[in-house]
Amino acid sequence: MSSTSTKPVRVRYAPSPTGYLHIGGLRTALYNVFFAKRHGGTFLLRMEDTDQARLVPGAVESLIRTFATLGIVAAEGPYVENDVLSERGAYGPYTQSQRLDVYREHAELLITKGRAYRCFCSPETLDAMRAEAQAAGRPSRYDGRCRTLSKEEQEEKMTAGSHVIRMCVPPIGTISWIDQVRGEISFSAADIDDAVLVKTDGFPTYHLANVVDDHLMEISHVFRAEEWIPSTPKHVLLYQAFGWEPPLFGHLSWLLNADKTKLSKRQGDVAVENYLQRGYLPEALLNFVALLGWNPTADREIFSMDELASLFDISKVNSAGAVVNFEKLDWFNRHYLKALSSEEFARRAAPFLVAADILVPTGTDTWTARETQKTFSLAQLAGVVGLERERISALEELPKALAFAFAPLVHQAAMLCWKGMSAADTVARLEAVRAFLAEQGDVSSATLEAATKEWIAAKGWGNGEVLWPLRVALSGQEKSPGPFEMIAAFGKEESLHRVEAALHVLQK
RNA sequence: GGCCUCAUCGUCUAGCCCGGUCUAGGACACUGCGUUCUCAGCGCAGGAACACCGGUUCGAAUCCGGUUGGGGCUACCA
């Protein structure tokens, strides 16, 4: 079998819309997108909703919106515009539940060709067959007893009850393919079951729907999770039965929990939308997920999507599973958070402060602090939120980290005193620095720090004696951003006001 | 049980296909030092891996076989 294809590149991501977008699903989609971009091909989305029991309303829209937030847009398939779900592309419909006739037609075609047959066996019969095979150490597979039913027997049974359609696997030879990520994989045909193609409810199974759709949609490469390796020989056989050329397959390894089991909801957050909601930037999430199982270089971690796409090589993707290390996601997020302009950072931060009821939006790019009624322009907000930018891993930490900046402070006298200094001495230092600050012109100037330190030295004091109480006066906290950063962010009036409040507590 | 698949620092990886340049490189995390009014950041330094056994070869992380361990499939779910 060939390991290259001359067909135009068309790849797809074909999820079952059963809820949220899983991190593993995102990676699969991403690799398909990269491959399409790299080879000038097309990426399309297809919904595999043939299991009626697992349908979740709204899942398709939610999936598409999440992709859109991440900048992933399929050229063909379902899309959402103005809250309306529609489809685009010349190979539709792209939703399997709307293609039932196509599958039925193809199943009948296979029966005509003698490559599929109707099976009337009951679930009980099948269970018994499985148990027996397992006990004997044989691969558990259907024994094919309905393959040879006469026309009369078939008609009789058809009127008597329901049936499924099975593919007919001749138990001879070997089925193999050159896997694009793993190399050659082969199976003995004797181990392959006569899989059900059409269920009693008339819906196709994955095997039939997937093969028919991939062929009809002219898919050139199928990149999917490794769970499909054992089914691939069935798919190969199906392509042969139809007389079609199969696409090239590439099976991606699992994303794993810390204990090396398949990444699951039980052991943490696996929904991409949750990370987005918690304030992980799309660019960080994308960069992080793309590098799980693959890195195009030996010494770089930060890449744009375009770089990744142009560097993508499916044969270089690791065949071993990758444990997802969320601490590294934090690192990526901190990196991208720092890379934002201060105004952009403020824009992305604002919704989190609003959601926490710290800020109330009062117009385009203006907000009011709920407790102090102080208003903020975008530039002012940028100054304040910038205070914690290098101390957080995700935007969700901002409300807690910045509470001190938007509310009146309650100072603690003991905390204000530097290393056992008396309250009286601390008052003296604070009063002096308050007076010094009051005389300064532009407190947001980068030179304020140097000027202040010079002034402290001239007084014969140590930096800590003055700067510690000043910083605690401004923040009300033991740990906080530096005093000069805060003064610049708060402005002179607010800063002096905070020092005043601290003095008041000390003099009580 | 049967079939398939995987195996480099704690974790993600580079190297493996095309054996020597690998006393195995980078990143996250961790530890120490420095900067310093605190925290963070930043800078520097450090510990840390080729699962095991055998074969091929002058030479193996790299090729071959086996063992062990992990994972998947074994549904009228995908």
pLDDT in tens, chain A (508 residues): 444 567 899 999 999 988 889 999 999 999 999 999 999 999 999 999 987 777 788 899 999 999 999 999 999 999 999 999 999 999 989 999 999 999 999 999 999 999 999 999 888 888 888 888 777 777 778 888 888 888 888 888 888 888 999 999 988 899 999 999 999 999 999 999 999 999 999 999 999 999 999 999 999 999 999 999 999 999 999 999 999 999 999 999 999 998 888 888 777 789 999 999 999 999 999 999 999 999 999 899 999 999 999 999 999 999 999 999 999 999 999 999 999 999 999 999 999 999 999 999 999 999 999 999 999 999 999 999 999 999 999 999 999 999 999 999 989 999 999 988 899 999 999 999 999 999 988 888 788 999 999 999 999 999 999 999 999 999 999 999 999 999 999 999 999 999 999 999 988 7
Cα maximum dimension of chain A: 110
pLDDT of residue A32: 98
Q: How many helices (H) and strands (E) does chain A have?
A: 20, 16
The residue among A470, A474, A472, A473 whose CA lies nearest residue A490 is A474
pLDDT of residue A259: 86
A162 vs A120: CA distance, rounded Å? 7
ipTM of the complex in this document: 0.95
Which residues are CB-contacts of A444 (< 8 A; sequence separation ≥ 6)?
A: A383, A487, A488, A491
Neighbours of A410 (CB within 10 A): 9
- Dihedrals φ, ψ of A366, to 5°? -135, 145
Q: How far is CA A42 from CA A8, A63, A217, in A?
A: 9, 19, 11
List the catalytic residue out of A7, A113, A265, A400.
A265
The residue among A18, A33, A38, A15 whose CA lies nearest residue A74 is A33
A45 vs A88: CA distance, rounded Å? 10
Which residues are CB-contacts of A280 (< 8 A; sequence separation ≥ 6)?
A: A329, A333, A394, A395
Is A157 labeled as catalytic in the residue annotation? Answer: no
What is the three-class DSSP state of A127?
Answer: helix
Query: Contact A385/A349 with Cβ under 8 angstroms?
Result: yes
Q: Residues of A from 333 to 362 whose C-beta is within 7 A of strand B: which are they?
A: none
A502 vs A433: CA distance, rounded Å? 13
Query: Contact A426/A469 with Cβ under 8 angstroms?
Result: yes
What is the three-class DSSP state of A270?
Answer: coil
pLDDT of residue A443: 82
Neighbours of A276 (CB within 10 A): 16
Element (H, E) at A315: none
> Quick check: A372 CB within 7 A of strand B?
no
Please report where in the chains the tokens 């397992």 appear, as a residue: A134
pTM of the model as a whole: 0.93
A473 CA from B65 C1′ (Å): 73
Domains parsed from chain A with CATH numbers: 10-96+255-323 (3.40.50.620), 99-252 (3.40.50.620), 341-402 (no CATH), 413-506 (1.10.10.350)
pLDDT of residue A229: 97
> Quick check: A140 CB within 7 A of strand B?
yes
- Smallest CA–C1' separation from A393, nucleotide: B40
Strand B: positions under 7 A of a protein C-beta atom: 1-8, 10-17, 25-29, 36-41, 70-78
Q: How far is CA A210 from the centre of its chain?
A: 24
Closest amino acid to nucleotide B3 (CA–C1'): A191
DSSP class of residue A263? P
- Smallest CA–C1' separation from A291, nucleotide: B12
- Smallest CA–C1' separation from A135, nucleotide: B1
What is the three-class DSSP state of A285?
Answer: helix
